[in-house]
């Protein structure tokens, strides 16, 4: 403020105070630092506060997405900290523990391809009372034959689905000019 007043009064400066303030902030490094052994500088305003007390380490906030990923990861791959987080979550919300157990059971069923356990899992998930799991169960029941086939069959149609996805991507990138002969050439050109 003082510099701006002096510039305005003594030199006829017509610029804003904010512009002077910005210039000072950018060139503050040119001002010599006070001697630490010299007398203390008298300043305006409040006296300096006593040394701040050390704050306890802030706990990291966990988003819903992060919590969901922790609950579905393999328990043996979790760090001690992550296991502690899951334990605290389960203590604070019993439904989280139920959801975690059901999620781990479902993932294990998919990994080991045990279709025999599917009906029992569906009943436990339906009885859990967790709306999200019940919605998931409705979707699984709607396509139960495919789910059972996926849990019992060693083969997968994932490769076919990947190729269909690639074909649709190429077709969309052509902005409606995807007559079959042009589409065929582009698909074959990308394959080689």
Residue 165 lies in a domain: yes
Residue 37 lies in a domain: no
Nearest-CA neighbor of 126 among 114, 136, 115, 116? 136
* 162 shares its domain with 148: no
* 93 shares its domain with 142: yes
* 144 shares its domain with 120: yes
Residue 14 lies in a domain: yes
Residue 44 lies in a domain: no
Residue 68 lies in a domain: no
* 136 shares its domain with 81: yes
Kindly report, residue by residue over 9-65, the tens digit of the pLDDT.
Answer: 888 888 888 888 888 888 777 777 777 777 766 666 665 566 666 666 666 678 888
* 148 shares its domain with 77: yes
Confidence (pTM): 0.54
Structural domain of 7: 1-27
Which pLDDT belongs to residue 75?
87
* DSSP assignment of 29-72: GGSPPPPTTSPPPP-SSSPPPPPPPPPPPPPPP--HHHHHHHHH
Look at phi and psi of residue 13 and say left if phi exceeds 0, alpha if psi is from -120 to 50, else beta: beta
Kindly report, residue by residue over 126-169, the tens digit of the pLDDT.
Answer: 999 999 999 999 999 999 998 898 888 887 777 888 888 888 88
Across 169-177, average pLDDT: 79
* 86 shares its domain with 144: yes
Residue 90 lies in a domain: yes
Residue 11 lies in a domain: yes
Which pLDDT belongs to residue 152?
87
Structural domain count, the chain? 3
Q: Is residue 123's pLDDT more than 80?
A: yes
* 145 shares its domain with 89: yes
How many residues are listed for the chain in this entry? 192
């Amino acid at each position: 403020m003082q510099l701006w007043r002096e510039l305005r009064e003594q030199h006829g400066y017509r610029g804003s105070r904010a512009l002077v303030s910005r210039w000072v902030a950018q060139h503050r490094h040119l001002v010599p630092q006070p001697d630490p052994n010299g007398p203390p500088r008298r300043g305006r305003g409040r006296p300096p506060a006593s040394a701040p007390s050390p704050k306890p380490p802030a706990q990291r906030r966990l988003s819903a997405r992060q919590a969901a990923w922790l609950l579905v990861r393999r328990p043996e791959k979790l760090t001690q900290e992550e296991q502690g987080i899951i334990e605290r979550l389960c203590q604070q919300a019993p439904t989280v523990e139920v959801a975690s157990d059901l999620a781990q059971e479902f993932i294990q069923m998919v990994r080991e391809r045990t279709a025999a356990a599917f009906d029992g899992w569906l009943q436990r998930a339906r009885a859990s009372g967790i709306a999200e799991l019940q919605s998931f169960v409705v979707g699984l029941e709607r396509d139960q034959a495919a789910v059972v086939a996926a849990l019992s069959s060693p083969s997968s149609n994932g490769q076919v689905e990947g190729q269909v996805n690639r074909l649709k991507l190429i077709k969309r990138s052509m902005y409606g000019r995807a007559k079959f002969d042009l589409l065929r050439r582009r698909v074959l050109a990308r394959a080689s």
